[in-house]
Amino acid sequence: MYTEESIRDIVNAQRKFFHIGQTLPIKWRIKQLKRLKEAVIARQDEFVQALCEDLGRSELEAYLSDVGPIISEVNEIISGLRRWSRPEVHFSGLMCWPSIFTKVYKMPYGVTLVISPFNFPILLTIGVVAAAMCGGNTVVIKSSSKSAASTAVLKKFFAEVFPPEYITLIDGGHDVADMCLAQRWDKIFYTGSPSVGKHVLAEAAKNLTPVALELGGETGNWCVVRKDADLKDAARKIAFFKLLNAGQICININQIAVAEEVAEEFIQELKSAFVAQVGEHAETNEEYPRLITTAAYDKCAKLADEHRKHIVFGGIGDKSTRRYAPTIIYPVDINEPIVQHELFCPLLPIVPFKDADVDSLMDIIAEREHPLAMYVFTKNMKWANRVMQTQQFGGGCINEVCMHMMVKGVPFNGTGHSGMGAYHGEWGFREFTHPQTVLKGHTHFNLSLREHPYSGKAGKVKMRLLRLFER
């Protein structure tokens, strides 16, 4: 059992280790990242088994969603770290003469806390830890108690690969998380819900600790299907994404707005896509993931029952396995509560709209809290590009789902109620380092512009020079 004192001892040990400077050399960091990658590859079967126990993931889905992306992410970090970490050299300007050049060093924050979620317990733990490592930090991980099998495997994994003064994992419930948040950290990275994100931010503010938040978005991620969209293609992609992890994904589609002119046709295509991928009864398909806890299952089932008269597909589940079938709810008004909060389950409400009124629809979406993702399906690229450049959200796709997450070199982030900060590749390095500006002065040929006197003839000369230098 952890106590506040035992957690403080862990933090103090890491702070002591950080202060000896061992994490600073880039060569040392790369060596640790290679050790991390080799260990992930060696233990991937354990991770896959844990994901099956926690979430009912098949081997392929576990590798596709958790294990494979970690290996790809660490490879990107290893290949880019030397370049990202080089000090930037800037021209200081004539005002700083004779100190012509200034350097910006990318310094680690120090001792960091990573709070990871249950839905992708391997990826969203090791992936964030890799970003912290590449920045030269030490890491304490607080993993989710809901994904117990994954947490157990991760705790053993980190204990065997790294010393605890460098990286260590703490398990336990919300009480342990609060004990962690009570400590003084140099950086906190939290992935989870907006409500807990507010709590993390409030606790961090007590020590003015910088925080990165990756949140699901309070009013959910929208997908808009216009009447000119390729409905079969859209349905196939949306069905795949909603089936993935049984909808328990922070960037998953929360609700779909479909042009009423094609709504019936789209729904038929969506039904066919679900059946083609998991059969008539997804709740009995062992490849289909389950909800994380019985409480999550009950919440999903209760919400489905409240909208039973509008369910046009699915609406059934197996509580013993915690599998609930993908469920289409239609029609749903845009102001109903079900489309004004994150669902995090396989329910899929569909909101019809007149295609001619699509801009009014987008105005309503824009007035709500910023989502983590946005997806649009249309052949009107002018409109789609305008939406993507004017709506505020974390990231998204045109005529595709979730694939922006697979692109190397781009950030994963949220804004407002969907988060703050960013990571993946170089963006993760930036998130876990502080840009530190250093100017080196000289003892000869220093200008006296900044020194008194500021009046008289000398002052006039200085003013003319200042105006010249500042052009």
**Given its phi and psi angles, is residue 103 left (phi above 0), alpha (psi -120 to 50 degrees) or beta?**
beta
Phi, psi of 13 (to 5 degrees): -65, -40
The per-residue pLDDT for range 234-290, each reduced to its tens digit, is 999 999 999 999 999 999 999 999 999 999 999 999 999 999 999 999 999 999 999
Q: Radius of gyration of the chain from Cα atoms? A: 26
Q: Is the dihedral of CA 165, 167, 172, 176 positive or negative?
A: positive
Judge whether residue 447 has pLDDT over 90.
no
Q: H or E segment at 423?
A: strand 422-423
Instruction: Please state, rounded to an integer, the average pLDDT across all residues of the chain.
Output: 96
Structure tokens that stand for 231 in this block = 């409905």
For 322-361, b where at least 16 C-beta lie within 10 A, e where not — what string?
bbbbbbbbbebebeeebbebbbbbbbbbbbbbebeebeeb
Confidence of residue 349 (pLDDT cuts 50, 70, 90): very high
Q: What is the pLDDT of residue 450?
A: 83
Which residue type, as a one-letter code, is found at position 226? R
Per annotation, catalytic residue among 214, 269, 369, 431 = 214
Which residue type, as a one-letter code, is found at position 237? K
Residues 6 or more apart whose CB falls under 8 angstroms from that of 142 comprise: 113, 114, 115, 116, 169, 170, 171, 172, 176, 177, 180
Mean pLDDT calculated for residue range 386-394: 97
Per annotation, catalytic residue among 134, 223, 250, 300 = 250
Judge whether residue 411 has pLDDT over 80.
yes
CA–CA gap between residue 388 and residue 396 (Å, rounded): 8
Query: What three-state secondary structure class fits 324?
Result: strand
Task: Tell me the sheet residues that pair with 324.
Answer: 317
> DSSP string covering 1-41, please?
---HHHHHHHHHHHHHHHHTTTT--HHHHHHHHHHHHHHHH
Could you confirm whether 214 is annotated as catalytic? yes
Judge whether residue 453 has pLDDT over 80.
yes
The structural domains of the chain, ordered by start, are 4-217+419-434 (3.40.605.10), 222-368+373-409 (3.40.309.10), 441-469 (no CATH)
Q: What is the pLDDT of residue 96?
A: 84
Contact by Cβ (8 Å): 390, 411 = no
What is the helix, strand, coil percentage profile of the chain, to 5?
A: 50, 20, 35
Angle between helices 44-55 and 26-42 (to 10 degrees): 60
Could you confirm whether 76 is annotated as catalytic? no
Judge whether residue 448 has pLDDT over 90.
no
Residue 148 CB neighbours (<10 A): 16
CA–CA gap between residue 435 and residue 137 (Å, rounded): 14
Q: Which of 108, 244, 86 is nearest to 185 (CA)?
A: 108
CA–CA gap between residue 82 and residue 451 (Å, rounded): 41
Give all strands of the β-sheet with 138-142 in edge-to-edge order: 167-170, 138-142, 111-115, 187-192, 211-215, 419-420
Q: H or E segment at 149?
A: helix 148-161
Mean pLDDT calculated for residue range 418-445: 95
Structure tokens that stand for 56 in this block = 């009912």
The per-residue pLDDT for range 97-116, each reduced to its tens digit, is 888 899 999 999 999 999 99
The per-residue pLDDT for range 247-259, each reduced to its tens digit, is 999 999 999 999 9
Judge whether residue 470 has pLDDT over 80.
no
Mean pLDDT calculated for residue range 133-145: 98
Per DSSP, 151 falls in state H
